[in-house]
Amino acid sequence: MSDVANRTAFPPPDKSNGKRLAKAVERAGEEFAAKNLRFTKLRQMVYEEIAATYASIGAYEILARLADKGTRVAPISIYRAIDALLEAGVIHRLESKNAFFACRRMDHRTGRRPLFLSCEKCGAVGEVDGQHIFDLIGEAANSAKFVARVKFVEVQGLCPRCASEEKDKA
């Protein structure tokens, strides 16, 4: 079980073969279609930059990478595309880093919310099921008579790969 969970949470760094990326773009397009949102050229380009890295990436880094490829857009355009991608649910925002990463769990329909594990060394972000934790947070809020609307749980630390490298050095 932990093997599967592990693989889901922390897929290997991109081998740059592009096939995985193409699949991710296709799935993103399906998400947009399912929600009656438009997967425009700009949104696709922004999504590709985010999905092309396993680390989280900032808005201005996306902007710089697009510029390197000859597409010069303003910050606001990046943010608008990001908003659409967030709404479609194909990326997530990492509040503690003001950065974004591609969602790799295709189980939205289960309604189970994930929590985010962000590696401090390599920047990779993994997701693991956290529905039971979000439920408890809701109860904790209720007990303080607080009406919860948005919750987030983020963890910083070392991903499995980086943790084992650290251990090797010791």
What is the contact surface with a second copy in residues (CB under 8 A)?
2, 5-6, 9-10, 95-96, 98, 115, 117, 119-120, 126, 128-130, 132-133, 136-137, 140-141, 143-160, 163
Closest to DNA by CB, 9 or 43? 43
Closer residue to DNA, CB minimum distance, 52 or 73: 73
Residue 77 near DNA by CB under 7 A: yes
Nearer to a second copy among residue 76 and residue 150 (C-beta): 150
Strand partners, 19: none
Distance from the Cα of residue 1 to its chain's centroid? 22
Q: What is the distance between the alpha carbons of residues 118 and 124, in angstroms, rounded to a whole number?
A: 6
The entry of DNA, a second copy, none that residue 43 binds, CB within 5 to 8 Å by partner kind: DNA
Q: Whole-angstrom Cα distance, residue 147 to residue 168?
A: 47
Asked if 79 touches DNA (CB under 7 A), the answer is yes
42 binds DNA (CB under 7 A): yes
Which residue, 9 or 45, is less far from DNA as judged by CB?
45
Minimum CB distance to DNA smaller for 6 or for 77: 77
Please choose which of DNA, a second copy, none residue 145 contacts, taking the beta carbon within 5 to 8 angstroms, the exact cut-off set by kind.
a second copy
Per-residue DSSP letters for 25-91?
A: HHHHHHHHHHTT----HHHHHHHHHHHT-SB-B-HHHHHHHHHHTT----HHHHHHHHHHHHHHTSE
The structure tokens listed for 48 are 């590709």
Tell the smallest beta-carbon distance from residue 65 to DNA (Å): 12
Rounded Cα distance between 124 and 117, Å, is 8
Q: How many CB atoms lie within 10 A of CB 106?
A: 12
Binding site for DNA (CB under 7 A): 37-38, 40-43, 58-61, 72-77, 79-81, 84, 98-99
